[in-house]
Amino acid sequence: MSRVFNFSAGPAALPQIVLEQAAAEMLDWHGTGMSVMEMSHRGSDFMGIHAEALADLRELLAVPSNYKILFLQGGGLGENAIVPLNLMRGKSGNQNEADIVITGVWSEKSHQEAQRYGAMNIAASAADTGFTAVPAIESWKLNQNSAYLHLCTNETINGVEYHFTPDLAKSHGAAFADMPIVADMSSHILSRPVDVSKYALIYGGAQKNIGPAGLTIALVREDLLLNEAGTSRAHPMCPSVFNYKLLAESDSMYNTPPTYGIYIAGLVFKWLKAQGGLKAMEMHNRTKAALLYGYLDSTDFYANRVNKADRSLMNVPFFLQDESLNAAFLQGANEAGLKQLKGHRAIGGMRASIYNAMPLAGVEALVDYMKAFERAH
Ligand code: PMP
C-alpha cells in the first residue's frame, strides 16, 4: 500500500489513523456484527456514536450552551439557500434582506443564491483587488434593516482568510452590536480555535477538515430559531428537513442524518483531541503555512498574490511566473507523489490545500519539489 501527499481542496485527505480505524471497524462495529453504515439511526449504537460526536465537537470548539449543533445534509451550497430560508425574515418576522461581504468565489455564490429569497446588500467587495484581500471592516456598509450579515471566513479558491473576529459594535457602533453574523467556515472550521459566541451561525461542509462529503455541520444560536412572536423564524416554504428549529428540536434526527459521515467525523474529533485540540492544530497549521509562504515569498519563480495579512492557512494558491510550465510542474509533482495541486479552474495556477490532516512532511516534500523544479527551469 502506498499513500500520497494529497493537496486536494476537498474532498480532502483524512488522518490515516482514522481511515485505518474505520477500515478495521467496517464489517463489525464493536461486536455488533454490522457496519455503522448498516445501523438504524435511531438504534442505541448509532445514537451513542452521534451523541459522542456532538459532545466532542462541542468540547473542541468550546461551543456555548445556547448554541445547537446540527448535523445535516445539503453541503456548503445548500446552506446558501437554507440560511436565507431560515433567517432572512429576521426577528420581527417581516424583514427580507441581508448583508454580505464578498471576498471570493464562495461568498459570490452565496450572494447569488440568497438573492432568490430576498434583497442582498453588498456591504463590501474585494473584487477591485481581484479577491486578494478582506475589505477593512470599517469600510463595510452595513444596513440596519438586514436580518444578518453573511461572511465566508476562508475563501477556499482565492486563499483569503479572516484573521480577525468581526466586532460590529466596535467597528460600526452600538446600533449594529446585535446584528447576527453568519459565517461559512467550510474550509477552515476546526483548523484553529474560534470564538463561537461572536457568530450567530457557523456552518461548513465536512469534506475538507472533518470527514466525508455529505455531512454539513451548523452551529446555531438558539434565539435565531424563533421570531419575536415565539414561532419559527423560517420561511413557510423552507423544506422541513432544512428547518433549523425542527432539526434542533429533533437533535438532527428529523430525517435520516448522514450516519456514516457523522461516524467518521466523530473519529476525526477524537483524533483532534488526541493531537491536543485546536490550539495545537493551529500551531501545526501555522508552521506548515509559514514554510510554504516563506518559500513562495523568497523567489520570483512562483507567486502568491494574496495580501499577506489575509492569507489562508488552509488553501495556498500560487502561480508559476512562466505559466507555460504548468503542465510540466503538475506532471512532475504527480510523479513525486504530490497530488491534486492543480488550481481551481476559476483562477488557474496551482493550489496546495494543507488542512489539519496534512503532515508537515507533506509541505516539506512540496517545497523540496518546488525548489528542485525551479532549479531545473
Ligand atoms: N463554501 C466554501 C468555503 C467551500 O469551500 C465550498 C466547497 N469547496 C462550498 C461552500 C460548497 O460546498 P459544497 O460543495 O459542499 O456545496
49-94 per-position pLDDT tens digit: 999 999 999 999 999 999 999 999 999 999 999 999 999 999 999 9
* Residue 245 a catalytic site member: no
CA of 147 to the centre of ligand 1 (A): 23
Under the banding of pLDDT at 50, 70 and 90, the label for residue 1 is confident
The answer to whether 199 and 214 have CB atoms below 8 angstroms apart is no
Per-residue pLDDT for 184 more than 90? yes
The C-alpha atoms of residue 229 and residue 221 are separated, in whole angstroms, by 17
CA of 353 to the centre of ligand 1 (A): 14
Q: Across the beta sheet with 201-205, what order do the strands follow?
A: 67-72, 216-221, 201-205, 181-184, 149-152, 97-102, 119-125
What per-residue confidence (pLDDT) applies to 2? 85
Per-residue pLDDT for 210 more than 90? yes
Which residues make beta-bridge pairs with 311?
160
CB-facing half-sphere around the CA of 201: CA atoms within 13 A: 30
Helix extents (H) in 175-318: 244-249, 259-274, 277-297
Supply 327's cell numbers.
503542465
What per-residue confidence (pLDDT) applies to 106? 98
- Averaged pLDDT for residues 24-52: 98
Under the banding of pLDDT at 50, 70 and 90, the label for residue 166 is very high
Under the banding of pLDDT at 50, 70 and 90, the label for residue 35 is very high
Q: Which residue has the cell 420561511?
A: 235
CA of 184 to the centre of ligand 1 (A): 9
- Exposed/middle/buried for 229, CB within 10 Å: 0-12, 13-18, 19+? exposed
Per-residue pLDDT for 377 more than 90? yes
* Residue 106 a catalytic site member: yes
What per-residue confidence (pLDDT) applies to 146? 97
The C-alpha atoms of residue 97 and residue 88 are separated, in whole angstroms, by 6
Give the tens place of pLDDT for each residue, 314-327. Answer: 999 999 999 999 99
Q: Which of 123, 116, 108 is nearest to 84 (CA)?
A: 116
Q: Which residue has the cell 471570493?
A: 104
For the chain, report the end-to-end CA distance as a whole number of angstroms: 33
The answer to whether 191 and 355 have CB atoms below 8 angstroms apart is yes
Which atom from ligand 1 is nearest to the alpha carbon of 154?
3
Residues 6+ positions from 138 with CB-CB distance below 8 Å:
171
The C-alpha atoms of residue 76 and residue 152 are separated, in whole angstroms, by 11
Question: What is the rounded average pLDDT for all residues in the chain?
Answer: 97
* Residue 208 a catalytic site member: yes
Task: Decide whether any atom of ligand 1 lies within 6 Å of the 187 Cβ.
Answer: yes
What per-residue confidence (pLDDT) applies to 46? 98
The C-alpha atoms of residue 70 and residue 196 are separated, in whole angstroms, by 14
The answer to whether 169 and 179 have CB atoms below 8 angstroms apart is no
Supply 180's cell numbers.
447576527
Percent of the chain with pLDDT over 70: 100
Give the tens place of pLDDT for each residue, 229-286. Answer: 999 999 999 999 999 999 999 999 999 999 999 999 999 999 999 999 999 999 999 9
What per-residue confidence (pLDDT) applies to 107? 98
